[in-house]
Amino acid sequence: MSDKPVMTHKQGLTAEHARSPMIKIILGSEEQYGGTDTATEQNQSQNQSPTPTRNEDLPVNVFYVNRSLLIEKSTYFAILLDNTSPQRTVVYLPQTHSDTEIFTLWLNSVFRGSLADNAADSVISLDKPGRLAKCFDFADFVGSYRFKNQIMDAIQMQGTGFLDLRYLRHMKTWGPSTALLKECVLECLAYKIASRGWAEVEEIADGGGDGGDGGDTNLEWVNGHNDVLMHRLTARVEVLESFEMTIDEQGVKGGLVDPSQTRDCRWHEHTAKDKVMCDRYRAEEHVSGTVVQGGSYGDSPW
């Protein structure tokens, strides 16, 4: 089974973009001074991640980005900038989507063509579910499904260690932008339970923290709520447990594979045109989270 990707789509800032006029982006309704400047302009030319510096004379919520790059990477900016006459030179992002940390993370990915290496240490981490959901909301707002796909890849690399039943609490508040994230979490939780038992996901009690409501253990909380997510999780666990015990015609017993260890693009958003450009896409090997021992892939239990 080959690990060679069909094609890699990782292009960021190019010379063509560098010839495009700069657009001034202001996060919120007005410029703000006195905080931390992310040195965006300095690092853009070097294709690096912004390095925080202190400069009281620079607004902390203002970014200058090439017009053509914005149009290419975001449907939101494409609508604002592509057909306006006279051409717009300043864009104010609404306050509801003006989180500087998240915007910087997205902008880094636009310039690099990929997430910064330290992204998981800041915003994109399974132990920060509230911030994670906001990243997906922002990606939907700017119309950048590639950003969502990059986040999903970063999450998958973190494994299932952070996942427990508190995620069912958080997921109740997540919006439509997190649909594939919910599927990923449910499948990883189901695998964890089917392979190691419920104790693996109930032992961490949520005392509030990043979006939780605290007061009892996770399992007590979900048992006390007629929750559709809990029903979906339980159903998936039952399917995995039954799949684990199946034996094919050759007498080979079915086994489970940790979904966080698969490297396909099943949790990506793609158009039909660009799917084959994804470096995780395998046309003949696109698989789910189960495998029959011996290397041949079986049908997905989902």
Contact 202, 165 (CB under 8 A): yes
CB neighbour burial string for 215-254, b if at least 16 within 10 angstroms, e if fewer: eeebbebbeeeebebbeebeebbebbeebeeeeeeeeeeb
Domain range annotation of the chain:
1-158
- Identify whether the C-beta of residue 164 lies closer than 8 Å to the C-beta of residue 188: no
Q: How many CB atoms are located within 10 Å of the residue 150 CB?
A: 24
DSSP state of 199: H
Closest CA to 169 of 221, 224, 97, 216: 221
The residues pairing with 92 across neighbouring beta strands, listed in sequence order, are 26
Q: What is the pLDDT along the chain (302 residues), one digit of tens a residue?
A: 333 333 334 577 888 888 889 999 999 988 888 754 444 444 444 444 444 455 567 888 999 999 999 999 999 999 999 876 678 899 999 999 999 999 999 999 998 888 876 665 566 777 788 888 999 999 999 999 889 998 988 888 888 887 888 788 788 888 999 999 999 999 999 988 888 888 888 754 444 444 444 455 566 656 665 578 888 898 999 988 887 666 666 655 567 888 888 887 888 888 777 777 777 776 544 444 332 222 222 333 22
Residue 177, judged by CB atoms within 10 A of its CB (0-12, 13-18, 19+), counts as middle
Q: Which helix (H) or strand (E) holds 238?
A: helix 228-244
The domain covering 1-158 belongs, at the CATH homologous superfamily level, to Potassium Channel Kv1.1; Chain A (3.30.710.10)
Predicted confidence at residue 176, as pLDDT, reads: 92
Tell me the Cα Rg of the chain: 22
